Amino acid sequence: MTAELIAFAIAGLAVGLGAVVLLSDLFPAPRLVTLLTGLCSALLLGGIAHTAFGDGHPVETVICSFLGSAAMVSLLARPDQRSGHRPRHA
């Protein structure tokens, strides 16, 4: 379980860091908030997946942790506040 927790943390940090670096114009929240959302959601959802799948499925739990973390971080995205974006007026 310890190795899975480390893998969950790495997956969450990778998701958060990827969002901050690659899509920084979509995330107006401070960078630390995005990183911590990725980390915490990966740990939480990885624990839920571990409980659901059981002890013998480490790969599946890490994949669920990664995908769940990406879903949670995407909730912070604000495409309407993207730099250079002009809202359309009907």
> According to the model, what pLDDT value does residue 30 have?
85
> According to the model, what pLDDT value does residue 90 have?
56
The Cα–Cα gap between 16 and 72 comes to 10
Distances in Å between the Cα of 57 and the Cα atoms of 49, 50, 51, 54 are 9, 8, 10, 6
> According to the model, what pLDDT value does residue 63 have?
94
> According to the model, what pLDDT value does residue 83 have?
61
Tokens of 13: 């940090």
Query: What is the average pLDDT across 28-45?
Result: 91
Tokens of 52: 């659901």
